[in-house]
Chain A
Amino acid sequence: MTVAVAPTLAPTRSRLRPGDVLRVGSLGLRSRRLRTSLSTLGVAIGIAAMVGVLGLSASSQADLNSKIKALGTNLLEVAPGQGFGRGTGTLPDTAVAMTGRIGPVTAVSSLTTVTATVRRTDQIDVGITNGIGVFAADPGLLDTLHAKLADGKFLDAATAQYPAVVLGATAAQKLGITSVGDGLRVYIADKWFDVIGIMQPVAAAPGLDRAAVVGLVTAETYIVGAAIAPATIYVRTADGATDAVSGVLASTINPATPEEVQVSRPSDALAAQQAASTAFTSLFLGLGAVALLVGGIGIANVMVIAVIERRTEIGLRRALGATKAHIRRQFLTEAVLLAGAGGLVGVVLGAIVTAIYANTQHWQVVIPPVAILGGLVAAVIIGGIAGLYPAARAARLPPTEALRSN
């Protein structure tokens, strides 16, 4: 040790390096691990709830979005008007032809229920319908609905006139049919029909999943024995012209009594569902905020206790040259680190919950970056606020009082 040389000038100011602020601020946390983990729990739960809610809501929105996209917002569904005195339950025979003449209409197809049962063989009792309905459609239906096939082919100009059938996804499953094989037949209305295709689930018309679809001419010839008036028409329009087409559809199809025609847009139902879910989101976000607040109070509480317990440490640091600001910074850093750790745990927890739930729902997992960032920022702010009072109290403590022996 060298001899101390008395400086002649007033000393330069005390300073604590930024890295040391972090080191000093985390000391209390590192040396009391159990307390640290317990006191971060409140904030962690709060942030997890908020991230989870935002993640689930985003995932479900993304799912609805993809459904809407699959459906297309340019698809219109036309059905006979319902209710008292509103027509015959069918649309005019000319409906499909008339609709096709509207300029921006790119595709139009009809779908009509036919009263018949579908059975695997003729040995099965006619009462066992499996809930499968028979529909008559034209070959363009698949394209109009943007539906896809799981196997085989859809009806074409030829097969739409012969006893051939395309099964919906659920219908095929109920009948125990997984693929289209040579000579595979089902029994419809006392006739054998060749199974030529199986559809994937159809977003635009979920009713088709439980359907056996036959050609319009086939239905008229082999099942009903008479001309069939269309019950539902699906109309695909050019983008941006959907509203315009929607406005003229009713009077085009039935100029005499347009009120007997009901036009709807299937994607509207999903959009409404999307809007409804945001109401729940705000409710749960509120609950998360309450948990966060309670977590913040918990941290403030723990910090007040820490300041009381570590009185002599504060006195020692003041004797070593710490300014009031250094002491304040130390405890503020500690509170922010405590809450920040809670925030980090919360974000991870929230993301895990989202991933697990979204997977059970077969949604794609979406965790909005704003939820992750917002969660961390919220935790840090809560920590800062919770640490304000304890830190100020620690800084105010006079060194002589802090050093007084107990």
Chain B
Amino acid sequence: MTAALEIVDVVKTYPGEPPVVALDTVSLRVDQGEMVGIVGPSGSGKTTLLHIIGTLDRPTSGEVLLAGVATANMSDRQLSAVRSQLLGFVFQQFFLLDGMTALDNVANGLLYRGVAPSQRRKEAAEALERVGLGNRMHHVPSKLSGGERQRVAIARAIVNRPAIVLADEPTGNLDTKSGVAVMDLVRDLHSEGNTVIIITHDRELASSLPRRISMRDGRVESDERDVQVETEMAAS
């Protein structure tokens, strides 16, 4: 199995007196097609880990490989290219742009790959159909419910067919019902073969994932696979 993500001995310290060690020698491997939850209380280093996996931040030391591509010596510009082509982000606050329709927001997922506008829209429309919002394409975000907004954000994250979808507390701003619907959608994406990494402090959400990596004080506390969930998901 090819590794979608491999991180080796990653350390992240923030300067200060004394320096803050946010990540302390973290190593992990996520295979292609896996669905992984990274859980832990606030301050456990999970957000820092997400930023480093997402190449939004650089580790102090250690190596991050995305789909086999080593990122340690990349320039800022090359890292941007990695994000535009290998990664899809889903944020707790959705981060949709108010001035444009759902369709254009999703099309933005292809903006920095130099894809022509008509092609961007075509693929965005497909992605919106995929998340069940084919009838909301021309709505602006302010006319959508929270759950719909997050689904638009998910469509944006998958429109570039990324190697990894990174979701940071995707249900954190949603009511229970919308949260369940969003998680169902994420599970569907996973079952289609997408690699999904979900960062959450929600133990309940985490318990529904086939693999859970628990963080505490910048270290990986445990990495467990739930065979029961795995078989359930495979059966469904």
Q: Which residues of A contact B (CB under 8 A)?
A: 1-4, 6-17, 19-20, 23-24, 27-28, 30-31, 312-313, 315-326, 398-400, 403, 405
Contacts and interface: CB of A to CB of B under 8 A. Distances in A.
Q: Which 8 A-B pairs have the closest CB atoms?
A: A321-B84, A31-B99, A3-B193, A6-B67, A15-B114, A321-B112, A11-B85, A323-B80
Contacts of A6: 2, 4, 32, 67-68, 163
Given A11-B81, A321-B81, A3 B194 contact: yes
Given A6-B32, A313-B95, 18 more contacts: A1-B130, A3-B194, A4-B161, A4-B193, A4-B194, A4-B195, A7-B68, A7-B86, A10-B78, A12-B81, A16-B112, A320-B111, A321-B80, A321-B111, A324-B76, A325-B77, A326-B80, A400-B56
B117 A321 contact: no
B158 A14 contact: no
Contact of A322 (B93, B99, B112, B193): B112
25 contacts: A1-B161, A4-B163, A6-B32, A6-B68, A10-B78, A11-B82, A13-B81, A14-B83, A14-B113, A14-B114, A24-B111, A31-B99, A318-B80, A319-B56, A320-B108, A320-B111, A321-B81, A321-B83, A321-B84, A321-B112, A323-B77, A399-B51, A400-B51, A400-B57, A403-B91
Nearest to A7: B67
Contact of B69 (A4, A11, A15, A27): A11
B162 interface: yes
B116 interface: yes
A297 to B, nearest CB: 26
B92 interface: yes
A321 B76 contact: no
A16 B51 CA distance: 23
A8 B68 contact: yes
A9 to B, nearest CB: 8
Interface string B154-173: 00101001110000000000
A12 B123 CA distance: 20
Contacts of B93: 312, 405
Contacts of B81: 11-14, 321
B189 interface: yes
Nearest to A31: B99
A106 to B, nearest CB: 71
Given A1-B192, A13-B77, A13-B78, A7 B111 contact: no
Contacts of A317: 108, 112
Among A11, A15, A24, A398, chain B packs the most CB atoms within 10 A around the CB of: A11
Among A6, A7, A23, A24, chain B packs the most CB atoms within 10 A around the CB of: A6
Nearest to B91: A403
Contact of B97 (A13, A15, A27): A27
B98 interface: yes
Given A6-B67, A11-B85, A17-B114, A313 B97 contact: yes
A16 B111 contact: yes
Given A1-B130, A27-B99, A399 B192 contact: no
B8 interface: no
A110 to B, nearest CB: 79
B169 to A, nearest CB: 9
B1 to A, nearest CB: 11
Contact of A321 (B92, B113, B189): B113
B30 to A, nearest CB: 12
B98 to A, nearest CB: 7
A55 to B, nearest CB: 37
Contact of A14 (B80, B87, B193, B195): B80
Contact of A2 (B78, B82, B161): B161
B55 to A, nearest CB: 9
Contacts of A12: 81, 85
Contact of A405 (B83, B87, B92, B113): B92
Contacts of A10: 69, 74, 78
Contacts of A325: 77
Contact of A11 (B33, B86, B195): B86
